[in-house]
């Protein structure tokens, strides 16, 4: 069965004044994608929401639409996995990544997708939100490493950069990983916290039954969280 992984990140830059970073994917079976797109568009019509949904754009006036995204996730065959790093300051790119923080980003992609929740006897299309002009070369590097690991039979055969505006999967990944890093940074506790984002997180956690940032067991498929501590 062909599955699609839609990867996005939050706070990955070294000098963005945020201590944490995270990378995540939304996973959707290819056979379910059409139905999920239809349901998503129905929600857009219902709530009169016709722009690209983003974590940065959540507001009180559009909160019910964003809550419908959470419902869509829990009511359908969609899963989510996130790796986060609590403190980017411990990363030593000079020593381990040839001074290239982008290289570490793609190492995280490897850790993200090669996981017990992804059956190696399935096939995967991997879509990555467009980041920079070096993406193509780095993807080539990832594919080379995967080919070696899986003896040239990698289940992760297709990698493609896409614009978030063209992908529901990337949009959902952006919103969910944004919520996680918002809470990791304790933005929800600040005096100027966005009330819509606080309510979104509360609604998400009520559906999930636990804290968004709580690390899960490795085989947890629906909502998988891993707190990565770099060596």
* Angstrom distance (rounded) from CA 174 to CA 23: 9
Q: What is residue 140's predicted lDDT score, i.e. its pLDDT?
A: 82
On the CB side of 85, how many CA atoms lie within 13 Å of its CA? 23
CATH of domain 2-227: 3.30.420.10
Question: What's residue 148's pLDDT?
Answer: 86
DSSP symbols for 204-224: HHHHHTS-TT----TT--SEE
Q: What is the pLDDT of residue 131?
A: 67
Task: Name beta bridge partners: 125.
Answer: 4, 158
Question: How confident is the model at residue 92, as a pLDDT?
Answer: 47
pLDDT tens digits for the chain (231 residues)?
A: 899 999 998 755 445 556 788 999 999 999 999 999 999 999 999 999 999 999 999 999 999 999 999 999 999 999 999 999 876 665 544 544 555 565 677 788 889 999 999 999 999 999 998 765 566 777 887 888 888 889 888 999 899 999 998 899 999 999 999 999 999 999 999 999 999 999 999 999 999 999 999 999 999 999 999 998 665
What span, in angstroms and rounded, lies between the C-alpha atoms of 199 and 211?
A: 14
**Please, are residues 231 and 97 in contact by the beta-carbon 8 Å criterion?**
no
Cα–Cα distance for residue pair 71/80, rounded to 1 Å: 14
Strand partners, 11: none
């Amino acid at each position: 069965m062909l599955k699609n992984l839609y990867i996005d990140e939050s706070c990955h830059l070294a000098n963005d004044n945020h201590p944490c970073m995270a990378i995540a994917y939304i996973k959707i079976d290819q056979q379910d994608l059409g139905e999920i797109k239809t349901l998503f568009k129905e929600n857009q019509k219902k709530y009169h929401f016709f722009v690209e949904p983003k974590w940065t754009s959540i507001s009180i006036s559009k909160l019910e639409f964003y809550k419908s995204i959470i419902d869509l996730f829990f009511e359908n065959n969609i899963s989510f996995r996130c790796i986060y790093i609590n403190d980017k300051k411990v990363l030593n790119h000079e020593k381990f990544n040839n001074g290239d923080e982008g290289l570490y980003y793609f190492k995280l992609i490897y850790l993200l997708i090669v996981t017990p929740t992804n059956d190696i006897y399935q096939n995967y299309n991997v879509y990555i939100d467009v980041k920079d002009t070096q993406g193509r070369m780095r993807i080539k590097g990832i594919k080379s490493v995967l080919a070696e690991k899986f003896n040239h039979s990698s289940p992760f055969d297709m990698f493609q950069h896409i614009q978030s505006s063209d992908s529901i999967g990337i949009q959902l990944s952006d919103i969910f990983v944004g919520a996680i890093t918002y809470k990791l940074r304790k933005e929800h506790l600040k005096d100027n916290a966005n009330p819509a984002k606080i309510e979104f997180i509360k609604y998400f956690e009520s559906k999930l039954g636990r804290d968004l940032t709580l690390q899960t067991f490795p085989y947890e498929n629906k909502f998988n969280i891993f707190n990565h501590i770099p060596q």
